[in-house]
Every structure is written in C-alpha cells, then in structure tokens.
Amino acid sequence: MKNIILMLMVSFIGFSVYSQPKKDKNAKYSIAVNGNCEQCKKRIEKAAFNVAGVKSAVWDLETHILNLILNEEKSTLHDVEKSIAKAGHDTEQIKAADTDYENLHSCCKYERK
C-alpha cells in the first residue's frame, strides 16, 4: 500500500515539473520608447543594459522602437521598462515620473501623451 501511494506521489510531482513553462534565454521584444535625439538613444540603451539579462538593446531614432534580446530567466520586460522610465523616457506600459522627465536635457524633452 505504501508503495502505491509513493508511486502516485512521484507521478504527480513528475507531471507538475513538466507543466511549468520554460523561460526563454533569448526572447526578442520590440517596444516603443519616447525620445528625440542621439543623447536619448544612449540613455535608453544604457538604461536597458543596466537590467540583468539584457543581451542586446538597440533604439531606433526614426521609429522610436527599442529592439531587445532578453534572458527571461534573469529579468522581465517589465523590469526593462521600469529602468527606462527611471531614466526619464516613457514606454508603452510605464510612464516616467515627472521629476525624472524634468531632469532630461532640454533637447531630449519629447511631447508627452
């Protein structure tokens, strides 16, 4: 009887291990980030790279799109967006605090929505 119960417990544990989703080590994301100039580009990319797990961060000045490659085992897209907002730039999901936005150089102040 004990053996049957033990086998059932091991089976349930085995199923639960396989049901957990695996996190991607090279997840690719594209997010909109507000900015105006080359200084913004450097600041946005630096803020992204300050988050553990970011392997690549390239912000396009024309499209205002940040292309990321992120190791999801170390951090999330939300963590990256928080870091960028802390640097003073609004993202799709997170708006920068007014004080962080006001600390931007005058040429970097974009039109907020």
Q: What are phi and psi of 42, to 5 degrees?
A: -60, -45
Whether residue 57 lies inside any domain: the answer is yes
pTM for this model (two decimals): 0.79
Whether residue 94 lies inside any domain: the answer is yes
Q: Residue 80: which domain range?
A: 23-108
pLDDT in tens, the chain (113 residues): 767 776 666 666 655 555 556 666 889 999 999 999 999 999 999 999 999 999 999 999 999 999 999 999 999 999 999 999 999 999 999 999 999 999 999 999 999 87
Asked if residues 84 and 70 have their Cβ atoms less than 8 Å apart, the reply is no
Whether residue 113 lies inside any domain: the answer is no
Whether residue 2 lies inside any domain: the answer is no
In this predicted model, what pLDDT tens digit does every residue of 4-13 receive, in sequence order?
Answer: 776 666 666 6
Whether residue 11 lies inside any domain: the answer is no
Whether residue 67 lies inside any domain: the answer is yes
Whether residue 5 lies inside any domain: the answer is no
The number of folded domains in the chain is: 1
Whether residue 74 lies inside any domain: the answer is yes
Beta-carbon contacts of residue 15 (< 8 Å; ≥ 6 apart): none
